[in-house]
Chains A and B, each alone.
Chain A
Amino acid sequence: MMTPLKFFNPVLGLVIAPFLLGIINRTKAVFAGRTGQPLFQPYYDIWKLLRKGAVYSRMTSWVFRAGPVLGLAVALTAMLLMPFGGLPAAISFKGDLILFVYLFGLWRFFTVISAMDTGSSFEGMGASREVTFSAFSEPALLIGLAAIAKCTGYISLTQMFSSVVPELWLRSGPALVLAGVALLIVFLAENCRIPVDDPNTHLELTMIHEVMVLDHGGPDFGLILYSAALKMWLLGQILIGIVVPIHSGNIWLDTSAAIVGMLLLAVVVGIIESSMARLRLLHVPQLLIGATTLSVLALVLR
């Protein structure tokens, strides 16, 4: 495989990822009958934040400053592991799906620890919620990926997703549907979308992720927003890998099909957000346990 092509995949993600947020916001605006913000607003936001200066509390240490940078670094590493459409991953080895899942764990650890570093009890509360919910969503993600690995018979992400073909859907469709639904729930939970967390609220009692990054400002916050967009792109790639089983051999055709799938996924998220209410915090673990159950079911079926 040509080297430039390998790196085209991560670059594609770096460029398109914030656009998904723009599409979600536009879908929600259409549902609410508003004009909505421009489609490229997330890019403007990130650019504006990156040009600002940062203010650091005297109480914080280097951990606080390392959080956003590490988040971006982890996101970039994870992007190297993920295949997309016809494009293979830049780095691929057996069992890289476990590294993929635990990169998210590392990322979460540094977000949490930099939130705790501020010494604000408010951020500690957000961190506690994040850790609680991720303890439920991580098994769902890992077991869901394991189910797909079992269906396809490969344990590296590139081989796994390149062997999800229409024939596989005919052979083990039910397992793929179950794993897909479980991963959709994980996608919504990890990206703080509506049934779990409302990305628009700034009320202290309803938010999880927003709480943890309240004290970050300027370029740091810009990096956090950008890495959050990348996280959505990364988890979306898993879903698209299952749901868009187009492998015609033509790299450009496959990749554009995957990109269209990704944009449709953003529209679906927008529709979910406009038509559902946030769950009570007490019911979120139930939803995530349900997702884990679906993953286990997908795993034992095939």
Chain B
Amino acid sequence: MNNTADIIMIFLVLTNMMLLGLSRLGACIRIVALQGIALGFLPLILNHWDIEVHLVLFSIVIISLKGIAFPWMLNRTLRELATQREIEPFIGYGISIIAGTIALVMCMWLSSRLPFPEPLMSPLIVPVAFFTIMSGLFLIISRKKALTQVLGYLVLENGIYAFGVALVGKQPMLVELGILLDIFVAVFVMGIAIFHINREFDHIDTDQLSRLRS
């Protein structure tokens, strides 16, 4: 049982590493979608496949939002864009992967220092959740395209979600659905915003947007 959770965690780490090392936006969107689907199964696995209406409904909502709705919206935006790849990020791909490896080791160390009231379902969940949060942040600060930054935001949220699921097996559904709704609206708005930025300025490079006012 724990092994399945471990495998999902390792899958999460590998997808994060791929996100750090890939330049093609379409591939990045697909990877984030896969991450969302894998995370959707996490509450079921952590509760030993106890089929409860609450949990199953929650998983279905997570999978359909993170695995289908978000990627669909981002893909639609991507089709409108002139660029299909991240060109010249602030931090190169090789360095990004090395930074990711260092961050992973740091997260492992950090979580080994954190005292938890009761033993967790899988020893990997906390470090991997931290690492997912870190790589989401890293994507936001190190990439130029607005679309990649939205993906970083989604990865960041995936990490927070994994952390929450690990700590509280069954969250109040209302709270979780509220958070999901927020993110849904945010991604929706960001998708539209990227589309408009692109139409207005023919690019989505955020570092050039800061010079607009002069």
Contact = CB atoms under 8 A, between A and B. Distances in A.
B101 A292 contact: yes
Contacts of B98: 289, 293
B73 to A, nearest CB: 30
B10 A174 contact: yes
Contacts of A178: 10
B104 A286 contact: no
Nearest to B93: A286
B13 A297 contact: yes
Interface centre among A178, A285, A301 (most CB of B within 10 A): A301
Given A286-B94, A300-B108, A293 B10 contact: no
Contacts of B108: 300
Task: Sort chain B's interface into a size bin.
Answer: 10 to 19
A224 interface: no
B136 interface: no
A290 B97 CA distance: 7
Given A174-B7, A178-B10, A293 B101 contact: yes
B17 interface: yes
A123 B214 CA distance: 54
A289 B104 contact: no
A67 to B, nearest CB: 31
A178 B97 CA distance: 16
Given A285-B94, A286-B93, A293 B17 contact: yes
Q: Is chain A's binding surface mostly helix, strand, loop or mixed? A: helix
A179 to B, nearest CB: 12
Main secondary structure of the interface of B (DSSP, over half): helix
Contacts of B97: 286, 289-290, 293
B80 to A, nearest CB: 29
B110 interface: no
A266 interface: no
A296 interface: yes
Q: Interface size bucket, A side?
A: 10 to 19
Contact of B105 (A285, A289, A300): A300
B89 interface: no
Interface in A171-197: 173-174, 178
B100 A289 contact: no
B148 to A, nearest CB: 18
B205 interface: no
Contacts, number: 35
B146 to A, nearest CB: 25
A136 to B, nearest CB: 9
Interface string B124-157: 1000000000000000000000000000000000
B21 interface: yes
Contacts of A300: 104-105, 108
Contacts of A173: 3
Contacts of A301: 10, 124
B86 interface: no
A287 to B, nearest CB: 10
Nearest to B18: A290
Interface string A259-275: 00000000000000000
Interface in B94-123: 94, 97-98, 100-101, 104-105, 108
A196 B98 CA distance: 20
A296 B13 CA distance: 12
A173 B104 CA distance: 20
Interface in A213-264: none
A293 B97 CA distance: 8
Nearest to B92: A286
A292 B6 CA distance: 21
B87 to A, nearest CB: 15
A173 B4 CA distance: 11
A289 B94 contact: yes
Contacts of B14: 297
Given A293-B97, A293-B101, A297-B13, A174 B21 contact: no
B57 to A, nearest CB: 30
Given A289-B98, A290-B17, 5 more contacts: A286-B93, A292-B101, A293-B101, A297-B14, A297-B101
Name the 3 nearest CB pairs between A and B, nearest first.
Answer: A293-B101, A174-B10, A300-B108
28 contacts: A173-B3, A174-B6, A174-B7, A174-B10, A178-B10, A286-B21, A286-B93, A286-B97, A289-B97, A289-B98, A290-B17, A290-B21, A290-B97, A292-B101, A293-B17, A293-B97, A293-B98, A293-B100, A296-B104, A296-B105, A297-B10, A297-B101, A297-B104, A300-B104, A300-B105, A300-B108, A301-B10, A301-B124
